[in-house]
Structure 1
C-alpha cells in the first residue's frame, strides 16, 4: 500500500531511484586474520617436525678442505685439558695454528649431526697429515740428554739412566770447592714462562748463577727455558699445588690436590713434567695445604727422587713436610729462607737482601726467593755486583742443596 502511494505521488515521467545493495562477506576481518594465523602456525609446525636439519637456522660458513687421509681421522689427544676447536658448515672457530698454518677441526653433518675430525692446513705439515700438531707435547729442547728422558702419555719426562741423574747433569757449573769454604747465597726467581718479556728480562739481566724456576703454563715455556739454559742459568720446574684457600686461590690447570687419589696426582704430575726438559729439580708453586699433607706429598717426593730430581721447598708453608720426606729419600733438597720481594719496593727488597746476607754468614748458606718484577730484578742485580767484595759467594741453587746435604 505504501509503495502504491509513493508511485502515485511521484512526478510523471520520472522513475523512482533504486537503493544500491552492499556486498556482504560471509565472515568478518577478525575471522580472516585468525584463519591466516592458524595456517601460518600449521605450516611452521610441519616444517619443524619433518625437517631433518638439527642445526637449521644457524649462520652458515663454507670452508674448503682437502680429502683426509687415514691418519687424519682421529687427532691425538693432548691430555692437558685444552679445548679443541670445532668447525662445521654452520660455525667456524679457528684452532691454535702451529707452523705450517695447520689445524684440527670437527666437521658436523647438517643432516645427521654426525661428527668427523679432519686436518686442515697448508704446506708440508698438512700434506703429511699430522693430526697431532695442534696438541702435540713440547719438542725436546736443544742440549738435552735423551738418555735421561722416557715417554709418557703426555710427552717426554725425566728418568735416571745408570749413574746419570737429571739433578747432576743439569746443575749449573760452580766452584764447589770454593763454595765449601765460604758463605754462599742462592737466589731463585719463580713464576717464569708466562709472559715472555719479564722472563727474558730475568734471563738476560740477572747473573748466570741465579736459578730460574718456570711454571708449566704459557704458550711455549720450553722455548724460554731453553734460552735460559743457553745463558747458563740452571732451571727448576714449578709444580702447582693446592693452597689452603683453593679454589678461591687457584694455581691453574692440573693442580695437585689433596682430594685426589695418588694415581690422579701422579697423572697430573706427569703432565707438568712433560712441559719442558733440562731442569735439575722441581719446586712447589703455591701449595701450602698440599705440601703440609703427608699422604699427598710423600708420593710426589718419592716420584721426584726416583726420577733423579731434587726438590726445593720455597719456604712459604711453615707446616711443610717436604724436609722430612726428602730426607727419607736421600734426595737433594733445599728450602727458601727469605722471600726477597714479599713487599715489592726498592727499600724493602734491599732490607731483605741484607737479611739474606746475614743468614748466609750465620749458617754458611742461605736461599732467597723472588719474582720477576722489574724492581726485584733491578735491586737483585745491583746487590750481586758487590757481593763477592763482601766475602759472600753467589751460587746456583743446586750448589747450596749439595752443600747442605754434605754437611
Structure 2
C-alpha cells in the first residue's frame, strides 16, 4: 500500500527517463549542398579565366615523321626468314627521298591556316628547300599541273588541255552517225566499297564523278582511270535549303566573295588529279546565281576543263556561262534512280533511250546504289543491239556542241 501511495503522490513524469538531446547543425543539408555547388562553380570559373591554354584544351596530335636514310641497316636474313607472307605483301612502301606532301593545319579558334610540309627528308631538317616535285598519280601529265597553296591543280599547257587529255577513248566517228547515251555515276569517293563496285562492275564507257571527300579520293580516282573510266570532279555548291542541307566542308556559297569561293575551289581541285571536267554537287541555289557561278565557270574554262550540269536546277545559268567561256558543256537529261527500285530504274533507262533517238544525245545520272549499278550494268550489255551507242560523257558533250 505504501508503494502504491508513493506512486500516486509523486509528481507526474518524475520517474521517467530523460530523453537525450539530438545534435543540431547550424545549417541544413540543402544549404550545405548549395555551398559546395557554389565552390565548384567558382573553381571552374577561375580555371577558365586564368588558364594559360587559349584553346581551352583543344585536342592536338603530334606526329614524328622520319624519312628513311640510305645508311639504315637492313635486317639480317635470320630476322626476316620467319616473316609471314601477309606481312611481306602488305608492308607499306617507303617514300622516295625528297618526296614531300603539304598538309594545311587550321586553328580551331581563329581559323588561321598554316601549311606544314611533311616527308621532306634531311633537307627539311636542315631548313633547306626540297627540290623534288610532289608525287603525281600514274598516267597524269605533269605539264598539266601547277602548284597551289593546297596542292597540285589542273592547268593548260600550250595546246594541251585536261579535258582532251583525260577524256576516255571512244569511237567518235561512229558516235557522230548514231544515237548515243552517256551515264554519269556521281557521289563517289566517300565509301570505298560502293566506289569500288562502280569501278569494277560498270563498263569503261560509264563516266564516274567523284566528290572531294573521303579518306583518299585520289587513290580511288586513280583506280577508276586504271580501269579506263573517265572521271569528273564534283564541286559542292549551295542548295536552296542550306545549311539544313549541307553538301560538306568548303562548299561554294552565294554569301561569299568571288575570292573566297575561288580559294575553296582550289581546295577541291587539289584533292585528286586526272579529271576531264567539273560537275556540280547539289547547288541548286549557287548554280542559278550568276554573280557566284560566272567566276567558277571562267576559272574552269581557263584551266582547260569541261563542265557538267546534272540538270537538278531548272534555273541554272551554267549553259549560258559555259557558252560565253567557249568551254565543253553537258547537262543531265534524266535522273535514273530517283525511285531506287529495279522497275523504276528500268523505266527511266527506257526513257533515256527514247530521248537519245529523238535528240541524238542523252545523258543519264545515277548514284552508286547497288540496285542502280546492277540495273545499269545489265542495260548496257544489250544497248548496242537496239541501235544506241554507250559513250563517255566527254564524247556526248562534244557531239552536243557540234550538233
TM-score higher than 0.5 = yes
SS at match of 1:71: coil
Instruction: State the shift of 1:71 in Å.
Output: 21
* Contact 2:99–2:135 (CA under 8 A) maintained in structure 1: no
Cα distance in 2 for residues equivalent to 1:74 and 1:248: 56
1:100–1:392 CA distance, 2 compared to 1 (3 A)? same
Instruction: State the shift of 1:141 in Å.
Output: 1.4
Instruction: State the shift of 1:106 in Å.
Output: 15
Cα distance in 2 for residues equivalent to 1:291 and 1:86: 60
Deviates most, 263-272 or 3-12: 3-12
Cα RMSD, aligned residues only:
11.2
1:387–1:178 CA distance, 2 compared to 1 (3 A)? same
SS at match of 2:338: coil
Cα distance in 2 for residues equivalent to 1:322 and 1:75: 59
* Contact 1:167–1:281 (CA under 8 A) maintained in structure 2: yes
1:116–1:200 CA distance, 2 compared to 1 (3 A)? closer
1:190-238 Cα deviation digits (max 9, x unpaired)? 0000000000000000000000000000000000000000000000000
Quote the residue 1:326 is aligned against: 322
Quote the residue 1:345 is aligned against: 341
SS at match of 1:110: coil
Cα distance in 2 for residues equivalent to 1:380 and 1:174: 19
* Contact 1:192–1:372 (CA under 8 A) maintained in structure 2: yes
Cα distance in 2 for residues equivalent to 1:274 and 1:362: 39
Cα distance in 2 for residues equivalent to 1:295 and 1:12: 102
Quote the residue 2:286 is aligned against: 290
Quote the residue 1:172 is aligned against: 168
Q: Of the two, which has the highest radius of gyration?
A: 1
1:267–1:361 CA distance, 2 compared to 1 (3 A)? same
* Contact 2:67–2:119 (CA under 8 A) maintained in structure 1: no
Deviates most, 383-392 or 47-56: 47-56
* Contact 2:99–2:132 (CA under 8 A) maintained in structure 1: no
Give the TM-score taking structure 2 as reference length. 0.72
Quote the residue 1:71 is aligned against: 71
1:103–1:277 CA distance, 2 compared to 1 (3 A)? closer
Structure 2: 5+ residue stretches without partners = none
Instruction: State the shift of 1:326 in Å.
Output: 0.4
Runs of 4+ more than 2 Å apart:
1-78, 83-97, 99-130, 133-140
Cα distance in 1 for residues equivalent to 2:19 and 2:170: 122
Instruction: State the shift of 1:140 in Å.
Output: 2.5
* Contact 1:61–1:92 (CA under 8 A) maintained in structure 2: no
Deviates most, 377-386 or 84-93: 84-93
SS at match of 2:90: coil
1:317–1:224 CA distance, 2 compared to 1 (3 A)? same
SS at match of 1:325: helix
SS at match of 1:370: strand
1:288–1:68 CA distance, 2 compared to 1 (3 A)? same
1:312–1:392 CA distance, 2 compared to 1 (3 A)? same
1:339–1:50 CA distance, 2 compared to 1 (3 A)? closer
1:391–1:7 CA distance, 2 compared to 1 (3 A)? closer
1:88–1:156 CA distance, 2 compared to 1 (3 A)? farther
1:343–1:146 CA distance, 2 compared to 1 (3 A)? same
Instruction: State the shift of 1:9 in Å.
Output: 29
